Amino acid sequence: MTYNTDTGFAGTTFGERFAAFRAVLADKAAKRKVYRTTYNELSTLTDRDLNDLGLSRSMIKGISLEAAYGK
C-alpha cells in the first residue's frame, strides 16, 4: 500500500511562495492586533462596567481570543 503526502507550496515560483508567506504573516499580525486591542479595551473597564456587560475579569482573555481567532 502506498501513501501520497503533499509537500507542495502555495505557488510554484519563489515569488509566489514569498507572496503567500507575506500574506500569512499579515493575517497573523492582523489577528494579533485584534486580540491586543480587545484585551486592552476590556482590561481598562472597571469591575462594575464589566458586570454591566455580564462579564468578569477572568473572561477577558477568552473573549479576546474568540474575537481574534474565532472558536
Q: Could you report the per-residue pLDDT of 14-64, keeping only the tens digit for each?
A: 999 999 999 999 999 999 999 999 999 999 999 999 999 999 999 999 999
- How far apart are the C-alpha atoms of 8 and 28, rounded to whole Å? 21
Query: What is the grid cell recorded at 5?
Result: 503526502
Q: Is the pLDDT of residue 11 over 90?
A: no
Q: Given this model, what pLDDT does residue 9 score? A: 58
Unique residue bearing C-alpha cell 509566489? 16
The model carries a pTM of: 0.76
Q: Is the pLDDT of residue 10 over 60?
A: no
